[in-house]
Amino acid sequence: MLDEHAKVLTVLQYAGEIIGRKKLQKIVFILKKLGYPFREKYGFHFFGPYSEELTLQTEELDNLGFLKETKEKQGGYHQYRYELTPSGETFLQNFKFSFSGLDELVTHLNQQPSRFLELVSTALYFEQLDESEKREKIKTVKAKQNYTEDEIDQAFAFIRDLKKRLVSKTTYS
């Protein structure tokens, strides 16, 4: 159980900070789809793939003082900022993860806008469909986002690039 919490903290450690609950959800989902051993279950929700388990884990980690969740007012809504705390750093010393390439991948994903990660994660959620079916599914389930063909093309290219970057899976003791 604590292994899964430590994996989330490892993502935060590599990211430095993640701005937005949606972004954290999408980064972990994308990493899972790329073969990293995240065990959270995901379903499809308003903003694409969503894990209640990940939400609970972040709440628990915040309550334990291992991550800091800061709520910020942004115009008409609230945005959340996630950072690893010194206690979280100490906690992570109990785990010896070896995530090949994860640090660079997390940095790369964290640099992308949440809207784009929502599109990428939605495409990965429907990966069993062929490309034309996937395009139609995205246009149907994400109609409010009004993604353009160019944005969808960029998301597909981004996924291909991510898959090329993968070298190996995780080992830990």
The 3 state secondary structure assigned to 96-124 is CEEECCHHHHHHHHHCCCHHHHHHHHHHH
**pLDDT for position 75:** 84
What tokens does 31 get?
Answer: 């990493």
Q: Can you tell me the mean pLDDT for 141-169?
A: 89
Task: Check pLDDT > 60 for residue 173.
Answer: no
Q: Can you tell me the mean pLDDT for 156-164?
A: 94
Which of 88, 51, 50 has its CA nearest to residue 69? 88
Task: Check pLDDT > 50 for residue 169.
Answer: no
Which whole-number Å values give the CA distances from 122 to 24, 71, 132, 133, in the listed order?
14, 26, 14, 13
Q: How confident is the model at residue 77 (pLDDT cuts 50, 70, 90)?
A: confident
**pLDDT for position 165:** 80
Instruction: Give me the amino acid identity at 33.
Output: K
Report which of residues 164 and 133 the model is more confident about: 133
Helix %, strand %, coil % of the chain (to 5): 55, 20, 25
Locate tokens 């790369």: which residue?
Answer: 108
Which tens digits make up the pLDDT trace of 86-133?
A: 999 999 999 987 788 899 999 999 999 999 999 999 999 999 999 999
Q: Of 19-23, 56-60, 118-122, 165-169, which range is least confident?
A: 165-169
Task: Check pLDDT > 60 for residue 167.
Answer: no
Percent of the chain residues past pLDDT 90, beyond the cut:
83
Catalogue the E-assigned strands of 22-165. Answer: 43-45, 48-50, 67-74, 77-84, 97-99
3-state secondary structure (DSSP) of residue 131: helix
Which of 130, 114, 40 has its CA nearest to residue 81? 114
**pLDDT for position 61:** 97
Q: How confident is the model at residue 170 (pLDDT cuts 50, 70, 90)?
A: very low
Do residues 67 and 82 make contact, with C-beta atoms less than 8 angstroms apart?
A: yes
Average pLDDT score over the chain: 92
**pLDDT for position 168:** 42
Residues 69 and 62: their CA atoms lie apart, in Å, by 6
Pick left, alpha or beta for residue 9 (phi over 0 → left; psi -120 to 50 → alpha; otherwise beta): alpha
